[in-house]
Structures are given as structure tokens and as C-alpha cells.
Amino acid sequence: MRPIIIVVEGPTEQTFIEQCLMPYWFERFGIYEVYPSRIGNDGGNVRVDRLRKDIELFLKQRPNAYVTTLIDYSGNELKKLENYVKCKALPTTDQRIKCIEDNLLKLIDSERFIPFIQKHEFESLLFSSGYSLQAYLKPKTCEAITQTRSQFHGPEDINTNQYPSYRLKEFFNLYEPRKYSKVANGSILALEIGLPTILKECPRFAAWVERIGKLATE
């Protein structure tokens, strides 16, 4: 069994891993060594220098561990990555993300590093099922989430005009007694939806989850 270290943007992703992914990996693969770590210890500002420093340190400290990432495509600060401009000029988001991930692999040349960039945002996952959120959100909020999801091929494709997080903020402002907070609401909404539903609705994210699980058991 190989340890897994996941470099994340902030507390929401860290909590999501601890409460959703770690139980799943343990139950499905028997993995018990998973360590989420906020970039630069405190999170935020996903820059190339900070990302590289953390990843190379973990690879050196844990020579038997796999190191991966869970960072958003939207809003990252990877502009200094080689070929970043070329990547951003590609026609589709999937192509851009793959290009950035490939160049991260060139930057950090290790077979134990598996870069993963979440398509658009973490909040994309929270559109997997508005119906599942009825115990936590107002009916109109759940309906708005469901209607938004129905307009796209899948939750991971939600991004035209507005980022997923902006949509959630708008729905909360309209229908909820509190404002949307990624830290306060993000992991709770994911738990309410449930990881099986998220994996079913978000194939790109699911492929990463399965890949990490299988690598750790090799």
C-alpha cells in the first residue's frame, strides 16, 4: 500500500477529501494513508513556484508516496508555467487542462506525481444533484441547481457566462437566508449529495479518484 499526498487549494478541498474521499478509498481499496495538504500550508494562490516547492518536498520526504493535486482550473495562478499561453489558446477546456497537466509533469519529472486540475471549479461537483440537497437548502435553491444542471451535458461542463461558484452565490442570495461560502457550505453540500452520485455525474473527476485508488494499491 502506497501513501497518497494531495496538494489542495484550501480548507474546503481538504475537508472534502477527509470526509468524502478518504472513507471511499478505504472502503473500496483499503487505503488508509491519505494526507491532504493545503498549498503553502495555508492554501490559496496556486502559483507555479508554491506548487512546485510543495510537491518536490513531499516527493523527497516520502519516497514511496504518490503526490497528486486537487486545484481549480478557474482562477489559478499558473501563468508562469511553461507553455501556459499556448495551453490557454487551445479550443476546448479539456484540451487546455490536459496541456497544463502535461506541462506540470514536465516541470516535476516524477512517475509518482499525478497532476489533477478540476474542470472549472470544485463547485462544479455540487451541481451533481439538486434533489439530494432538499434537507439542507430551500426548494427554490434545489430547483435552480437542478435546472442549471439540466442545461449542460454534465456538472463538469457548467461554466458558460458564470462560474459554478457564482451561480451558487446567486441562488443563495435569492433564496437562502445566508450567503454562499465555499468554506462553510462546500463540503456540507458534497456530503449531502454523496460521493457515489458525484462520481456518477462527473466522469473526469471519477477517473482521477479511481486512478489514485488503484495506484496506491499497486
CATH code (residue 47): 3.40.50
CB atoms within 10 A of CB 148: 18
- Based on the fold, state whether residues 152 and 65 are members of the same structural domain: no
**Element (H or E) spanning 170, and its range?**
helix 164-175
Kindly state whether residues 131 and 105 are assigned to the same domain: no
Tally of domains in the chain: 2
Which has the minimum average pLDDT: 36-40, 62-66, 90-94?
Answer: 36-40
Q: Which amino acid is at 181?
A: S
CB atoms within 10 A of CB 165: 20
Return d(Cα 4, Cα 21) in angstroms, integer: 12
The whole-number pLDDT of residue 69 equals 97
User: Is residue 115 domain-shared with residue 36, that is, in the same domain?
Assistant: yes
> Closest by alpha carbon to 154, among 108, 207, 103?
207
Q: Do 17 and 52 lie in a common domain?
A: yes
Assigned C-alpha cell, 99: 496541456
Tell me: do 75 and 102 sit in the same domain: yes
Cell 453540500 found at: 189
Res 211: pLDDT: 97
* pLDDT of 98 above 90: yes
Q: Which residues contact 136 (CB under 8 A, 6 or more apart)?
A: 188, 189, 192
Q: Which residue has the higher pLDDT, 29 or 40?
A: 29
Q: How far apart are CA 155 and CA 203, in angstroms?
A: 10
Classify burial at 50, counting beta carbons within 10 Å of its beta carbon; exposed 0-12, middle 13-18, buried 19 or more. Answer: middle
Q: What is the pLDDT of residue 42?
A: 63
Q: What CA–CA distance (Å, rounded) separates 172 from 164?
A: 12
Residues 131, 112 within the same domain: no
Residues in CB range of 25: below 8 A, 6 or more apart: 4, 31, 34, 209, 212, 213, 216
Q: Which residue from 7, 33, 12 is spatially nearest to 125, judged by alpha carbons?
A: 12
Give mean pLDDT, residues 71-75: 90
Determine the structural domain holding residue 97 and report its residue range: 4-120+199-216
The residues, ordered by sequence, that sit 6+ positions from 91 with a Cβ below 8 Å of its Cβ are none
153 with 77, same domain?
Answer: no
pLDDT band at 44 (very low <50, low <70, confident <90, very high): low
Same domain (yes/no): 105, 36: yes
Predicted pLDDT of residue 43: 59
Do 116 and 69 lie in a common domain? yes
What percent of the chain shows pLDDT beyond 70? 98
Q: What mean pLDDT do residues 50-58 have?
A: 95
